[in-house]
Amino acid sequence: MSGSFADRLSADCPAAGLRAALQNRTARVGVIGLGYVGLPLLDAFVNAGFKTIGFDTDRAKVDALLDGRSYIKHVPGAKIARWLREDAFEPTDDFDRLAEPDVLLICVPTPLTDARDPDLSYVEGSARAIAKALRPGQLVALESTTYPGTTRDVLLPILAESGLTAGDDYFLAYSPEREDPGNPDYTAAGIPKVVGGLDELSGELACLLYESAVVRVIPVGSPEVAEACKILENTYRAVNIALVNELKVLLDRMHVDVWEVIDAAKTKPFGFQAFYPGPGLGGHCIPIDPFYLTWLARRQGLNTRFIELAGEVNTSMPEYVVGKVVTALNDATKPVRGSKICVLGLAYKKNVDDHRESPSFELLHRLDELGAELSYHDPHVPRMPRGKRNYPDPPELVSESLTPEFLAGQDCVLIATDHAAVDYETVVRHAPLVVDTRGATRGLESLGTVVKA
């Protein structure tokens, strides 16, 4: 890739120096945002031999990393301690140091507002901080998931306040993060990377950077293509999950096991990919990205009815699940008010500690409003997180041990996340009632009272 533009670079131009530093891996890589995207990305670049510096506004995160402690399960503290020991990584909350790295990768959150419009405040804040320190020869790449046009229409004008020119003085690209927390088969370094540069030279330099650290780079013609690629990936998942969620509700009414149906369908060797129902969508991407697309469509005077319908189906699932709990308790001659209900799983997916946008919080909120006495168990989330958007802070709960005595003392155990570490046979044997949203108790129904939701 690098040979395609080497001949047209003069020795003293900013691109030439950056290109050389990327090739010999003396370039320092800076990552803004040390969360579920930023830390795994740092791992890829440290393993590739780059020196790195991590920026975050959260001083508690920086202090934890300086102590060699991790707050993300799949990036263990021992690994961070090794980075520090080998002088390969330095965390800081001093954004005045943004001129030091040769590369700046923006990995900050892109949530939704209360009106479900894109909230780019973290991206804009990062861009303003970069603009104050931007120097010739730096490469800036946005990785945060966003709508097509963000790099060109939002990031570029802010960076222009530096007085530098993109494509000549500094270089700008978009490369969407691709993370699958909890999947050991796909680390950040093992997932192909889509890269779209603002101009040809920016794209080629960004590809040169990423091909040093990831398994494969896929260059595309513009940032907009790369941005739309990420939106398509997650909207595809959201729509298909909505399909099986809607099918689950229908088949439940017909007393047909949706899990058995999916198992049968996925035996077809072509034309079908299995998606699975649940209590709602979680994680930072799938519950949010389709709304970025519908917002963009409205700005273009269009409606994305198919995508909006999928969003309605997925956001209705917690209400459906709570309804199943209410009915199941009623069948046991118990009201929800005063019933002891343990929500099993706070993480949005199994075997991870990531609880961003987890439907479990909506379930807890709804059950709390109905007067239930709540507890939870999650082997990966030992203490109830606080400060969740859109929810009042819950009680100071800690993860309960699923002993036979604890289970027997509950009126209902609601399985919201199917962590592999849980002994579901013990749960079904000892809990008076189990409501299962994940198919975790399949084959165990004869051991106790199980309601599928």
Nearest to 439 by CA among 224, 305, 251: 251
Measured in whole angstroms, the distance separating CA 159 from the mean position of its chain's CA atoms is: 26
Question: How many other CB atoms are found less than 10 A from the CB of residue 250?
Answer: 10
With CA atoms as reference, report the closest residue to 231 among 172, 280, 297. 297
| Catalytic site includes residue 107 | no
- CA 67 to chain CA centroid, Å, is 25
Instruction: Find residue 197's DSSP bridge partners.
Output: 173
Q: How deeply is 125 buried, as exposed, middle or buried, from its count of CB atoms within 10 A (0-12, 13-18, 19+)?
A: middle
Marked catalytic residue, from 229, 285, 342, 412: 285
Between CA 155 and CA 170 the distance in angstroms is: 13
Joined tokens for residue 41? 């990305």
For 164, residues 6+ apart whose C-beta sits below 8 A from its C-beta are: 134, 135, 136, 170
Tell me how far CA of residue 394 lies from CA of 59, 317, 361, 388, in angstroms.
24, 21, 9, 9
Q: Which of 154, 127, 153, 141 lies closest to 197 in space, CA to CA?
A: 141
**Residues whose CB falls within 8 Å of the CB of residue 158, separated by 6 or more in sequence, listed in order:** 124, 127, 128, 131
Residues identified as active-site: 285
